[in-house]
């Protein structure tokens, strides 16, 4: 059984990297406690502090000192937005304990089109999260070790491979692996703030390495130009908000009580992100760190080098932690994307295969698809973080906006139901919880979130669409159309294949068994015996006359052995046996349209793969072509060479040689 | 039918390059008249004059002037050998009018081992002929246009590709395409001799461009050292003899009377080769042309440049003709290799596929195999003619020797039969023809040939084995062992699958139909209906419980519709449906070893290839795995999506909508 052999080798390799299969019962075992969930779901928004400040400074630098002075205010605006969005999404966690991603919320409250738009936005954004975070993680490495810069693409793709394998092993384990670096980054950043504070008090912090770089002199800056710069800087700073979605989508992965734990984790994440982002921005301004166009060394690494000393062990530790958390941010998407794709597949918007859980209870196909798309982006953009980041947040804010508006509608519906006394006590308490007053409060929070994010979406789209965001927008549109078409296809198929009661009783009116014979050997006899044993309405044997001598021999033997089945010779003047058979079968069908034609194909099955080379592969070719011929059923009758005792016909190999009969 | 679509595209491309399929009746039409056969079969020995002289000079040069002086005598020895071998092979043409290659002659007269040794030698040699001739043809080009030298490998592989396509189109057409350059080369070479003669008489021929090059001074050359050099030079010169085999192998391709036409063509070829080889050697010595270690420019091109003038049109024409005939020499092998491989396949020494004639009545698989092997050699040896040529003639002389000894035995057998008056008149006259006396004469000629070639084989082996010929020898040994093993395998299979009369009457004792069901849709109903219509001894439906909800739904519907077949649920706790099914089937088999299990698999067949992506491919995976499970017959019941009126079940799509029933 060579198929079993190669299968075993593949299985062995897979087991080493992915682990042994997990029983479906172990689904519950993969639930996450808050401290692990924080690492799994929140590394994305937390890690984005590693580049959000830099993106603000990069835009403002064009406006010279005057513009740069607005940096703290821009950062404050981003923080306010972050707080609003976090508050808004906490409502979602409570309202949708089974997972309230933008797709689910939009579908329930805004209809199919909005939900597909949200889904498309999220899918694109998950891919961008992986591409941007991994690339940024590689920048953290190359900031510390510049010699690695030329190999950025290879390193990034390698990291995606590691993430893929880790995630194919399953959520629980990846959570454990990834908890340490997240907390290391948070801890080291806080240590950096403390260290800087102590230095400031004791004798001052040295300035950043780029502090003395000349700033561009934009001349007299008009108020309008300054405003445009500030708005663009704000749009760039909004990268700090990516990934908030992941928690509300991942509520079912939390330990019980799921909703409350998720909401608490979201708040913790918000607090951490605000502190880190604020602190880094303050330090960047204080140390006069400048963002460099190629992002190398990064602003955050300049700060760390200034505070810790550029060749200290702590500096290298800090860089390592930065790289690590950025790679974990990519991991957030490895949790989110396959889950969303699975829901979309369940709802018939994506191919069914994305709904299957693999050996290790993860949606393996989604994991592989995400990794492939992200790797392609990194290769396509040559691991250039500045160009990649332009594609990033259009999707985020599309889904934010749709999700928040959906929540507003959600509370509206609940409030209307609440007015109806019949459902007031039972349903509402179960779903959203709380009184009319708390519902109104939630609705208000979501409304503020919705308006804020809608405005930001317009700003982001306007400032970034010509800088590459159009690619993300185009991808979203393509996905949107594809999902609609796939849904229409599945619906059509479902209607087409639905069986009615009458059909359940229908039997085929007439069966014609056709046995392919090339020589009178046991494989052919087996197929012939099986066909005869089935007692079809008509039975005939067919041979393809490719070689005149062999055909003559077959006919002679057939007649001399008086086999009770008629043998039909099909001429194959061009020596291709497939076409004559197909047209013969089609002719039969045309003559008797209600007859099912069962083609019995004797087939050698060999023990070793190389033996396959020694047999014509015509059975395979016949099978492939007949599958596409309507009204034909193919019966593959295998003859296992070398294990003749397993054949049901004869089995003389088992009979003792001394048997007198 | 997307399979038909892609098939059509492939067919279209194939037709453009290979031509439309030829009817088997046109076999006779591909027979060759002598003038075409000379071009097809004899370009190899004729073209080898382009490098044979050079190989002699290259070896002798090491011995300085003294050694070089022996060149004409070495060439004379080669000519004598050539005449002997041609004379010897002419006997073969008469004795074996159906093709008397070394393989056939050895098998009939010397037994299996000798014939396989001859076959292995010939196969290796055909590959070498292609590699050496094409490489040498490229040297002819680069001698004229030195700028092309760096691209030698690419050019050589491209030429092999052209030869492959030409030969896939068929013998007759390739003969026509190739006749012109062969005659052009012969004509231009004779013109060169004439031209040189005229120049010699009127004022003398200019010396070759390398005439003034310093010769190595070997100091005092011992007689033994000189002898060794001369013997080595002779061994190298024997490259002139390659390809004589092709005619005796190709007798059936000649027009009638086949044997006589073949023998005549062989004699013509011998005459031409002797004249050209002798003339070129005389000119090389007269013009003091020296062989260069890298073969560029070649000796023959130096002569042509000296005689015609190095920038004359005639010179370039001559180089073109040289290149062309060398490429045609490769074509000889494209006629010989596939034919021999086909005979070996027919005799069960090589895979059956090599015995099949393709669309255009040529043994397409053999053509492709030869081209691949030769291209690999050229790439592996970087198109270095000096290294390639070392592998060349061990195989030739192995087959020569075996063939001649076989012929000696052949005549011996005939003579013994002739002594028996009963067969004397009938058989002998038909096969070998002629009287006892003419048989004795033929035997004597073959005996001389056998001894000569045996001696040369020893010489060639001794002088070349360490220079690379070991690779050819190793390849021959590997082929020899492989052919023996393949034959043993086929014999074993033939015995195993031979059906006796009792078995021809055996019907399967018990059939268990197993219908795979995932949902209660029309494809499943179709499979179920077919299985029930077959009235098997046992019938059961099986579903794989991968998704708990779907399984529950199926069971409910099954019961509510009261389908008269029992539904078995197989647990798939690891979500892989294949393993549970396989072990279930194996358990069934173990419980009832004589029962045939027919697994009915409903299968979606889609109209466009991309639709395939939207369906789980589990049917394919089931089929692949079940094929390797003994005692199981797979029945593939296709459901053609989008062409529902072609389904034999229901066909409600055809019914008019106004039908009151």
Q: Which residues of B touch A537 (CB under 8 A)?
A: none
Instruction: Compare all CA atoms of chain B with the CA of A618 and give the residue at the minimum distance.
Output: B353
Shortest CA gap B580–chain A (Å): 13
Note the pLDDT of residue A171: 53
Q: pLDDT at position A426, please? A: 47
Residue B591: its H or E element? helix B578-591
Torsion of CA B332, B334, B338, B340, to 10 degrees: 20
* Position B27 pLDDT exceeds 80: no
pLDDT band, very low/low/confident/very high, at A507 (cuts 50, 70, 90): confident
CB contact under 8 A, B499 and A525: yes
Residue in chain B closest to A535 (alpha carbons) equals B534
What is the pLDDT, as a whole number, of residue B11?
A: 63
What is the structure's pLDDT at A1? 38
**Residue A648: closest C-alpha in chain B:** B594
- Give the integer Cα–Cα distance in Å for B600 and B512: 11
Helical spans, DSSP H, in A150-210: 152-169, 171-202
The pair of structure tokens assigned to A117 is 């738009």
Phi, psi at B528, each rounded to 5°:
-65, -45
- Closest Cα to residue A43, out of A265, A221, A198, A217? A265
Find, in chain B, the residue whose alpha carbon is nearest to that of A606. Answer: B628
User: Does the bond joining A257 to the residue before it have cis omega, within 30 degrees of 0?
Assistant: yes
Q: Is B386 left (phi over 0), alpha (psi -120 to 50) or beta?
A: alpha
Instruction: Note whether B524 contacts A499, CB cutoff 8 Å.
Output: yes
| Per-residue confidence band for A655, with pLDDT thresholds at 50, 70 and 90 | very low
> What pLDDT score was predicted for residue B62?
86
Q: What is the mean pLDDT of residues A435-445?
A: 89
pLDDT beyond 80 at A614 = no
Return the number of other C-beta atoms located less than 10 Å from residue A449's C-beta. 26
Considering only CB atoms, A605 lies closest to which of B627, B635, B646, namely B627
Residue B328 pLDDT level (bands cut at 50, 70, 90): confident
What ranges in B391-468 are assigned the alpha helix state H? 393-419, 421-423, 429-431, 436-464
Number of H helices, E strands in chain A: 27, 5
Cβ atoms A48, A208 nearer than 8 A? no
Q: Residue A17 pLDDT > 60, yes or no?
A: no
Nearest CB partner across the interface for B351, out of A613, A623, A650: A613
Query: For the CA atoms of B20, B26, B29, B31, what is the dihedral angle to 10 degrees?
Result: 100
What pLDDT band is residue A25 in, cutting at 50, 70 and 90?
low
Q: What phi and psi, each to the nearest 5 degrees, are found at residue B634?
A: -100, 125
Chain A partners within 8 Å of B523 (Cβ) = 497
What DSSP line would sit under A230-249, residue for residue? HHHHHHHHGGGGTTHHHHHH
To probe the interface with B, which of A361, A575, A602 has the most B CB atoms within 10 Å?
A: A575
Vertex B12 angle, CA B7 and B13, to 5°: 105
pLDDT at B273: 93
Tokens of B582: 């396989």
Mutation for testing the B interface, residue in A361, A506, A511, A610 having most B CBs under 10 Å: A506
Is it the case that residue B402 has pLDDT exceeding 90? yes
* CB nearest to A616's CB, from B353, B493, B511: B353
pTM for this prediction: 0.73
Helix (H, G, I), strand (E, B) or coil at B597: strand
Contact (CB<8Å) A359/B486: no
CB contact under 8 A, A493 and B594: no
Which of A352, A529, A535 has its CB closest to that of B616?
A352
Question: Comparing C-alpha atoms, which of B254, B290, B261 is closest to residue B61?
Answer: B290
Helix (H, G, I), strand (E, B) or coil at B407: helix
State yes or no: pLDDT of B655 exceeds 50.
no
Q: A497 to chain B: which residues are within 8 Å by CB?
A: 521-523, 639, 641
Q: CA angle, A449 as apex, A407 and A399 as ends, to 5°?
A: 65
* Contact between A118 and A402 (Cβ < 8 Å): yes
**CB pair distance less than 8 Å for A639 and B497:** yes
Q: Is the pLDDT of residue B186 over 80?
A: yes
According to DSSP, the β-strands at A566-571 and B566-571 are unpaired
Question: Which of A412-421, B195-204, B444-453 is least confident?
Answer: A412-421
Q: Which residues contact B524 (CB under 8 A, 6 or more apart)?
A: A499, B515, B516, B517, B518, B602
B648/A509 Cβ within 8 A: yes
Query: What pLDDT sits at residue B274?
Result: 94
DSSP A215: P
Spacing of C-alpha B585 from chain mean position: 44
Rounded Cα distance, B382 and B402, in Å: 32
SS3 B498: strand
Among A76-90, A613-627, B134-148, B229-243, the range scoring the smallest mean pLDDT is A613-627
Q: How far apart are the first and last CA of chain A?
A: 33
Distances (CA, A) of A625 to A587, A599, B3, B524, B611: 16, 12, 8, 22, 18
- Picking from A56-60, A632-636, B605-609, which range would have the lowest pLDDT averaged per residue? B605-609
Residue A173 has pLDDT above 80, yes or no: no
Q: Are B566 and B538 in contact (CB under 8 A)?
A: no
Out of A486, A496, A522, closest to residue B497 by CB: A522
What's phi and psi for A568, nearest 5 deg?
-100, 130
pLDDT(B416) > 60? yes
* A273-306 confidence digits (pLDDT tens): 999 999 999 999 999 998 887 777 889 999 999 9
Nearest CA in chain B to A616: B353
- Closest CB from B25, B499, B641 relative to A493: B641
The burial class, CB within 10 Å (0-12 / 13-18 / 19+), for B590 is exposed
User: What integer pLDDT is reported at residue B176 of this predicted model?
Assistant: 65
Q: Which residue has the tokens 């492709």?
A: B368
For B206-235, what is each residue's pLDDT tens digit? 888 888 888 777 777 788 889 999 999 999
Q: Looking at residue B230, what is its pLDDT? A: 93
Contact (Cβ atoms closer than 8 angstroms) between residue B568 and residue B542: yes
Ranges A402-406, A521-525, B282-286: which has the least confidence: A521-525
Cβ separation B530–A633 shorter than 8 A: yes
**Alpha-carbon separation of residue A424 from A413, A417, A429, A430, B538 (angstroms):** 12, 7, 8, 10, 57
Mapping DSSP to helix (H, G, I), strand (E, B) and coil, where does residue B596 land?
strand
Mean per-residue pLDDT, A320-341? 87
* Cα separation, B195 vs A38, whole angstroms: 94
Cross-chain Cβ contact A496/B646 below 8 Å = no
Which helix (H) or strand (E) covers residue A605, if one does? strand A595-605
DSSP E strands, A463-594: 510-516, 538-545, 566-571
A263 φ/ψ angles, rounded to the nearest 5 degrees: -60, -40
The single-letter DSSP state of residue A608 is S
Rounded to the nearest angstrom, the gap between the alpha carbon of residue A258 and the centroid of all alpha carbons in its chain is: 24
Region of poorest pLDDT, from A214-223, B155-164, B463-472: A214-223
What is the least distance, in Å, from the CA of B290 to any CA of chain A? 50
Among A3-12, A182-191, B68-77, B635-644, where is mean pLDDT lowest?
A3-12
Residue contact A530–B575, C-beta within 8 A:
no
Tokens representing B447? 């005996």
Could B498 and A511 be called an inter-chain contact, meaning their C-beta atoms sit closer than 8 Å?
no
Provide the edge-to-edge strand list for the sheet that holds A632-640: A566-571, A538-545, A510-516, A595-605, A632-640, B632-640, B595-605, B510-516, B538-545, B566-571
Best of A26, A346, A534, A578 to disrupt the B interface by mutation (most B CBs within 10 Å)? Answer: A534
Element containing residue B603 per DSSP (H, E): strand B595-605
Q: Which residues of A touch B494 (CB under 8 A)?
A: 521
**Pair B308, B322: CB distance under 8 Å:** no
A308 vs A146, A185, A301, B179, CA distance in Å? 19, 15, 10, 84
**CB-count burial class (<10 Å; 0-12, 13-18, 19+) for B303:** buried
Closest CA to B167 of B136, B130, B139: B130
Local confidence band at A421 (pLDDT 50, 70, 90 cut-offs): low
* Closest CA of chain A from B5, distance in Å: 11
| Most B-contacting residue of A488, A615, A627 (CB-CB within 10 A), to test interface | A627
* Weakest mean pLDDT among A32-46, A510-524, B84-98, B494-508: B494-508
Averaged over A586-602, what is the pLDDT? 89
pLDDT of residue B420: 63
B224: left (phi over 0), alpha (psi -120 to 50) or beta: alpha
CA gap B86, B403 in Å, rounded? 12
| Residue in B638, B641, B646 to test binding to A, most A beta-carbons within 10 Å | B638
Q: Which of B28, B560, B605, B628 to mutate to test the interface with A (most CBs of A within 10 A)?
A: B628
Q: Calculate helix-pair angle for A223-237, A436-464, nearest 10 degrees.
A: 120
The average confidence (pLDDT) of chain A is 84
What is this model's ipTM? 0.73
Q: Which positions in chain A touch B632 (Cβ < 8 Å)?
A: 638
pLDDT band at B650 (very low <50, low <70, confident <90, very high): very low
Question: Using an 8 Å Cβ cutoff, are B272 and B186 in contact?
Answer: yes
Q: How far is CA A47 from the centre of its chain?
A: 21
Cβ(B298)–Cβ(B216) under 8 Å? no
State residue A141's pLDDT score.
92
Task: Name B396's Cβ contacts closer than 8 Å, sequence gap at least 6.
Answer: B121, B125, B238, B241, B242, B245
User: From residue B380, how far is each of B121, B153, B388, B464 by CA, in Å?
Assistant: 20, 10, 10, 19
C-beta atoms of B573 and A25 within 8 A: yes
Show residues of chain A in contact with B532, CB under 8 Å. 507
Question: Nearest CA to B361 among A546, A510, A454?
Answer: A546
CA of B104 vs chain A CAs: smallest distance (Å): 20
3-state secondary structure of B382: coil
Is residue A190's pLDDT more than 90?
yes
What are the chain B neighbours of A643 within 8 Å (beta carbons)? 630
For residue A246 the two structure tokens come to 């992941």
Question: Among partner residues A501, A594, A642, which is closest to B561 by beta-carbon distance?
Answer: A501
Give the pairing of strands A538-545 and B538-545. unpaired
Residue A180 has pLDDT above 60, yes or no: yes
pLDDT for B57 beyond 70? yes
Contacts of A353 in chain B (CB under 8 A): 616
Strand, coil or helix: B640? strand
The H or E element spanning position B570 is strand B566-571
Helices and strands counted in chain B (H then E): 27, 5
The CA distance from B524 to B539, in Å, is 14
Please give the helix or strand (H or E) that residue B636 lies within, else none: strand B632-640
Contact A403, A102 (CB under 8 A): yes
Least confident of A484-493, B214-223, B485-494, B631-640: B214-223
Q: What is the pLDDT of residues B553-599, one digit of tens each?
A: 888 888 888 888 899 988 887 777 888 899 999 999 888 888 889 99
């Amino acid at each position: 059984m060579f198929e079993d052999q190669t299968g075993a080798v593949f299985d062995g390799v897979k087991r080493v990297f992915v682990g042994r299969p997990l029983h479906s019962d172990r689904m519950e075992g993969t639930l996450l406690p808050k401290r692990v969930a924080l690492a799994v779901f929140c590394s994305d928004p937390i890690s984005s502090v590693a580049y959000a400040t830099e993106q603000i400074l990069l835009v403002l630098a064009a406006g010279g000192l005057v513009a740069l002075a607005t940096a703290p205010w821009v950062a404050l605006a981003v923080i306010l937005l972050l707080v609003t969005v976090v508050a808004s999404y906490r409502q979602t966690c409570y309202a949708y304990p089974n997972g309230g991603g933008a797709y689910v919320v939009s579908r329930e409250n805004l209809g199919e089109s909005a939900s597909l738009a949200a889904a498309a936005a999220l899918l694109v954004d998950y891919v961008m999260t992986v591409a941007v975070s991994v690339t940024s993680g590689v920048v953290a490495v190359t900031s510390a070790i510049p010699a690695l810069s030329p190999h950025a693409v290879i390193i990034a793709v390698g990291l995606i491979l590691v993430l893929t394998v880790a995630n194919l092993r399953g959520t629980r384990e990846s959570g454990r692996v990834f908890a340490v670096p997240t907390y290391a980054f948070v801890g080291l950043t806080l240590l950096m703030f403390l260290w800087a504070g102590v230095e400031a008090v004791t004798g001052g912090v040295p300035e950043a390495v780029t502090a003395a770089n000349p700033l561009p002199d934009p001349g007299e800056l008009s108020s309008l130009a300054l405003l445009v710069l500030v708005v663009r800087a704000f749009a760039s700073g909004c990268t700090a908000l990516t990934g908030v979605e992941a928690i509300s989508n991942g509520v079912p992965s939390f330990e019980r009580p799921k909703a409350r734990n998720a909401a608490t984790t979201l708040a913790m994440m918000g607090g951490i992100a605000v502190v880190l982002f604020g602190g880094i921005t303050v330090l960047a301004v204080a140390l006069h760190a400048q963002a460099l166009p190629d992002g190398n060394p990064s602003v955050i690494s300049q700060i760390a080098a200034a505070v810790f000393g550029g060749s200290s062990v702590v500096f290298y530790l800090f860089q390592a932690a930065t790289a690590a958390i950025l790679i974990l941010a990519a991991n957030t998407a490895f949790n989110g994307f396959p889950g969303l794709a699975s829901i979309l597949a369940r709802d018939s918007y994506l191919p069914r295969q994305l709904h299957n859980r693999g050996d290790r209870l993860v949606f393996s196909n989604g994991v592989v698809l995400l990794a492939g798309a992200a790797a392609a982006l990194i290769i396509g953009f040559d691991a250039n973080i500045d160009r990649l980041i332009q594609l990033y947040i259009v999707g985020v804010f599309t889904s934010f906006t749709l999700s928040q508006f959906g929540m507003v509608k959600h509370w509206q519906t609940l409030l209307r139901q609440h007015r109806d006394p019949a459902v007031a006590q039972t349903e509402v308490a179960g779903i959203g919880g709380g009184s009319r007053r708390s519902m109104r409060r939630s609705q208000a929070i979501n409304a503020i979130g919705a308006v804020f994010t809608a405005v930001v979406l317009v700003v982001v789209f306007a400032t970034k669409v010509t800088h590459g965001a159009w690619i993300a927008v185009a991808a979203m549109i393509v996905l949107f159309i594809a999902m609609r078409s796939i849904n229409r296809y599945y619906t059509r198929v479902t209607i087409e294949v639905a069986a009615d009661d009458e059909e359940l009783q229908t039997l085929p009116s007439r069966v014609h068994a056709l046995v392919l014979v090339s020589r009178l050997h046991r494989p052919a006899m087996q197929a012939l015996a099986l066909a005869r044993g089935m007692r079809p309405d008509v039975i005939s044997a067919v041979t393809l006359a490719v070689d005149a001598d062999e055909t003559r021999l077959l006919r002679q033997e057939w007649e001399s052995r008086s086999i009770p089945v008629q043998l039909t010779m099909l001429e194959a003047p061009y020596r291709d046996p497939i076409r004559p058979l197909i047209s013969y079968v089609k002719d039969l069908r045309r003559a008797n349209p209600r007859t099912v034609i069962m083609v019995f194909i004797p087939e050698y099955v060999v023990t070793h793969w190389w033996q396959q080379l020694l047999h014509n592969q015509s059975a395979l070719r016949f099978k492939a072509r007949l599958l596409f011929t309507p009204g034909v059923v193919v019966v593959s009758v295998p003859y296992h060479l070398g294990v003749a005792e397993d054949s049901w016909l004869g089995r003389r190999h088992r009979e003792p040689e001394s048997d007198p009969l």
